[in-house]
Amino acid sequence: MTTTAAPSTVKKSIKKRRKKEIPYHRRPEGMAMEKWQIALRKQFVHDNY
């Protein structure tokens, strides 16, 4: 008997992998300055550690 992941589980994992990178030099339209800085810090930690 084989088991496979539910289609919804697979879709969720794909969405997590496709997370858009935050640009360092220009704040995205519609993003608050504070949220941009927080996102940059989280991205830096994820990329470097």
CA dihedral defined by 30, 33, 34, 40, rounded to 10 degrees? Answer: 90
Q: Tell me which residue of 16, 17, 38 sits closest to 27, measured CA to CA.
A: 38
Q: How far, rounded to the nearest angstrom, does the alpha carbon of residue 44 sit from its chain's CA centroid?
A: 12
Contact 27, 36 (CB under 8 A): yes
Tens of pLDDT along the chain (49 residues)? 666 666 665 555 545 555 789 999 999 999 999 999 999 999 999 999 9
Global confidence as pTM: 0.59
